[in-house]
Amino acid sequence: MVKCKLLLIIIFGSAIILQAQKFTHFSADFSIIQKNTLTDSSYLIVGNVEYDLSSDLTHYAIQFPEKKFWEFKDSTLTVYDSLHFRESIDTVGAIQDYSLFRKFLTEDFSDFDLEREQFSIDSVEKADSTVLIKWKAPPYIEFIDVAYTQKVKGKLKGVIFTDVDGKDFSKSFFEDYVRIHDKDIPRKIKSYFQGKEEEIFRVIDLRNIEIW
């Protein structure tokens, strides 16, 4: 009887682990378009991205405007030229922690991971299929006052961060969702950032998305 129970626990335990680790890879073709008002410059970057959750490695194969390969691992970025010779290694900080691809594969995407970042819910407004949540920033993030997330039919539509002066300094919008396996993935990610002197507008288009 004890053996039987143990066997059941092992089977169910394994099933839960397998379920949690079901998808570990994300791949897509992408275009990034960006405009910076301070430098009066713009970018168009086209290529393919692959993310491996198990090794936390993001690999970009860039085709336009020039052939390059970027590899993000932990807090380092390695750049390779078109012949895959290493060009440089830079420390870029813990940006992998904020990787959207990681959020797509895990369950953190629905609230933009705000709960994990210790934001607390201040108020919730519901109307039809829309839910608007106001989040209070944790004390350790001094420059952010509140964040607003909007969900439509359970899918995150956008997040707006407001600083302590009431300025909406960062906005991100997630549109054109596609359902792949049991995941809702946005194919268009728009963002806006307002710094002291600059405004940055950016759109990321994802095509041919695959997760496995």
Kindly tell me which of 62 and 211 has the beta carbon lying closer to another protein: 62
**Shortest Å, Cβ 47 to another protein:** 9
Q: Which is nearer to another protein, 125 or 142 (CB)?
A: 125
Residue closest to 162 by CA, chosen among 175, 178, 184, 146? 146
Rounded least distance, CB 182 to another protein, Å? 26
Minimum distance from residue 169 beta carbon to another protein (Å):
12
Start-end of H helices in 21-170: 100-105
Residues at the contact surface with another protein, assessed by CB under 8 A: 31, 33-35, 39-46, 62, 64-66, 68, 70, 77, 79, 90-93, 95, 125, 127, 130, 132, 134, 148, 150, 157-158, 160, 162, 166, 168, 171, 173, 175, 190-192, 197, 201-203, 205
**Nearest residue to 130 via CA among 108, 156, 110, 106:** 156
Separation between Cα atoms, residue 184 and residue 103, nearest integer Å:
11
Instruction: Pull the structure tokens for residue 110.
Output: 């629905």
Considering beta carbons, is residue 23 or 61 the nearer one to another protein? 61
Provide, rounded to whole angstroms, the least separation between the CB of residue 24 and another protein.
24
CA 174, chain centre distance (Å): 10
State the minimum distance, in angstroms, from the CB of residue 117 to another protein: 20
Cα separation, 57 vs 36, whole angstroms: 28
Look at the block and give the residue holding tokens 């994802």: 206
Q: For another protein, which is the closer residue by CB, 182 or 197?
A: 197
State the alpha helices, DSSP H only, in 54-161: 100-105
